Amino acid sequence: MIDLSVNFGGIKAPNPFWLASAPPTNSGYQIMKAFDAGWGGAVWKTLGVPVVNVSSRYGSVNYRNTKMMGFNNIELITDRPLADNLREIEEVKKYFPDHAVIASLMVESRAEWEQIIKDVQNAGADGIELNFGCPHGMCERGMGSAVGQEPEVLKTIVGWVKEAANIPVITKLSPNISHITDPGLAAVQGGTDSISLINTIKSIVGIDLDSYAPYPIVDGKGSNGGYCGPAVKPIAMHMLKDLAQHPEIGKVPLSGIGGIETWRDVVEFILLGATSVQVCTAVMHYGFGIVREMEAGLRQFMEEKNYNTIYDFAGKALPNVTEWKHLNLKHKVVAEINPDKCIGCDLCYISCDDGAHQAIALSDDPTNRIPSIIEENCVGCNLCSLVCPVEDCITMVKKDDGTESLTWNERTLNDDIPVTFDDDRAGGKGHFVPTPQDALKHRK
């Protein structure tokens, strides 16, 4: 029997699908609508001293037919009075007592932290999330990512909050930092109950070619914003992995955020150690209803793999994520083209010849448009299989027998690595490379 319920650092919810603190959680109306659609938790749009926002507020990166592959937001925290938000938190908890309502907070002084914590606790919030990640507007005032980039300051504020709070505390981290483990460790040392990441990435998504202002344009000007959406998912997963593998940070629950849109995204974040996930951009794009596909897909995956709870597979991918120096240099794959599926577009040849290792040849027969692999040249880089528009037309076939294993680390310890510019132990020594003049053979 599959049970999707979670206990995230003391915060209980019927499932791990939570809304991130963002425009979709601006009001009780939206959150109740989301809970009714199937979301298990919501982090209220960040509360503090209300701001005045600008118009317009959003920009996006579109890629070919994909709208909002990346999304840019210059909206700040709530611009609604605190009393209105507190009243609506109470109302939501009356209707959905078993769903998680987390209050995202951002203020300046210790006195303000202590006061607003009392306020949200009295309103019935199940937990608090500390917004140390906002990379625009608020950081210019010494809050948001300005705190997330200063581990000692972060640690101090987490300590203040833990002294004042009677409900669980989540610390939300900024990705705008060299080593995510620095603020992560500071949060743990400050006493946080759990961590969420990532917040948005400082960015400019484009420049208008008439006004020369960055998007979104506000009266002929623009500013950096917070980048999110599918484009940031790889960055989020990498940072999640770093925290999950850390011996101290990995002991606290982690909530994964960044580009989550499908059930597979959810599963991947859980496999890297997350035990709740937070979603924003996908809801802004497609609406609250996407949670139905997420839940159905997650349930099917768990049924197929024989998992009863998400804790049965949380972090299961972590042992397989290692440093490059520990990868097996003896592992060998080469590309293989299925002639029955090939449509003769030659994109694999073009990408390999121009961008990789010249390991694909075209036929001299003008009636045959199917390329062939030059196996001795193929280094198994995967590029051809990635650019091929036909599913499973090009596959990577294992050629080693699996009996040998040798890593760069082992070679280093054995004093068997290249150490001079022309060392005979160079990995590419003897590999075929066309002469420079060969590039001009087809010149007309």
3-state secondary structure the chain: CCCCCEEECCEEECCCEEECCCHHHCCHHHHHHHHHHCCCEEEEEEECCCCCCCCCCEEEEEECCEEEEEEEECCCCCCCCHHHHHHHHHHHHHHCCCCEEEEEECCCCHHHHHHHHHHHHHHCCCEEEEECCCCCCCHHHCCCHHHHCCHHHHHHHHHHHHHHCCCCEEEECCCCCCCCHHHHHHHHHHCCCEEEECCCEEECCCECCCCCCECCCECCECCCEEEECHHHHHHHHHHHHHHHHCCCHHHCCEEEECCCCCHHHHHHHHHCCEEEEEECHHHHHHCCCHHHHHHHHHHHHHHHHCCCCHHHCCCCCHHHCCCHHHCECCCCEEEEECCCCCCCCCHHHHHHHHHCCCCEECCCCCCCCCCEECCCCCCCCCHHHHHCCCCCCEEEEECCCCCCCCEHHHHHHCCCCCCCCCCCCCCCCCCCCCCHHHHHCCCC
Q: How far apart are CA 296 and CA 308, in angstroms?
A: 14
Q: What is the pLDDT of residue 142?
A: 61
Q: What is the pLDDT of residue 105?
A: 95
Q: What is the pLDDT of residue 279?
A: 98
- Tokens at residue 374, please? 């030059």
CB 115 within 8 A of CB 203: no
Q: What is the pLDDT of residue 323?
A: 97
Matching residue, tokens 């990346």 = 70
What pTM did the predictor assign? 0.95
Active site residues: 134
Which residue type occupies 12? K
Q: What is the pLDDT of residue 117?
A: 97
CB 337 within 8 A of CB 304: no
Residue 97 CA to its chain's centroid (Å): 30
Q: How far apart are CA 261 and CA 315, in angstroms?
A: 20
Query: Tens digit of pLDDT for each residue in 106-124?
Result: 998 999 999 999 999 999 9
Q: What is the pLDDT of residue 156?
A: 93
Q: Which among 209, 389, 280, 245 is positioned nearest to 39, based on CA atoms? A: 280
Residues 6+ apart with CB under 8 A from 109: none
Q: What is the pLDDT of residue 46?
A: 94
Cis bond upstream, residue 374 (ω within 30): no
Q: How far apart are CA 371 and CA 348, in angstroms?
A: 8
Residues in the chain with pLDDT < 50?
none
Query: Tens digit of pLDDT for each residue in 5-18?
Result: 999 999 999 999 99
Residue 175 CA to its chain's centroid (Å): 10
Q: What is the pLDDT of residue 50?
A: 85
Q: What is the pLDDT of residue 115?
A: 97
Q: 263-271 and 233-245 helices cross at what angle (nearest 10)? A: 30
- Tokens at residue 265, please? 């995204």
- Tokens at residue 197, please? 């990441």
Longest dimension (CA), the chain: 80
Dihedral angle of Cα 162, 164, 169, 172, to the nearest 10 degrees: -80
CB 151 within 8 A of CB 180: no
